Homo-oligomer: A and B are copies of this chain.
Amino acid sequence: MKIERINTTPRWSDATIYNGIAHFVEIAADEDADIVGQIKQVFEQADQTLALIGSNNSRLLSVTIYLKELQYLQLFNDMWEAWLPEGSAPSRACLKAELVDPRLLVEITFIAAVIE
């Protein structure tokens, strides 16, 4: 079975799709944005990735959320719950972690089901 990939560079693909399952990771394209801006971008970028693969944010299976500072947690949770359609929240882990660029405040890895 063929692996589909979105925007493949030598370093990563924006998403891989195989057997109805997509893996993708989002960090804010504008790394200089504040925490609200970065969270908003991560969700918008995830919506775009999901649209590209024929899915949407009601089809998330699992996420791991990395926050640079735990003081962002309440804000993140509020924006997260506003973003997700009712009754569709995925399995979720959330950790404090240092990301590869010091300006990055949030990173999320997603596993999602494609619509079939």
Could you list which residues of chain A lie within 8 angstroms of chain B, going by C-beta atoms?
1, 3, 5, 8-16, 18-21, 23-25, 59-62, 64, 66, 70, 73, 77, 80-81, 84, 86-100, 107, 109, 111, 113, 116
Copies in the complex: 3
Q: Is the CB of B77 within 8 A of A23?
A: no
Q: Is the CB of B13 within 8 A of A90?
A: yes
Task: Return the chain B residue nearest A73 by Cβ.
Answer: B100
| B-side contacts of A88, CB under 8 Å | 3, 5, 8
CB distance from A71 to the nearest CB of B (A): 11
Most central of A10, A97, A116 by chain B CB within 10 Å: A10
| B-side contacts of A62, CB under 8 Å | 16, 23, 109, 111
Task: Return the chain B residue nearest A27 by Cβ.
Answer: B93
| B-side contacts of A21, CB under 8 Å | 18-19, 61
| B-side contacts of A25, CB under 8 Å | 91-93
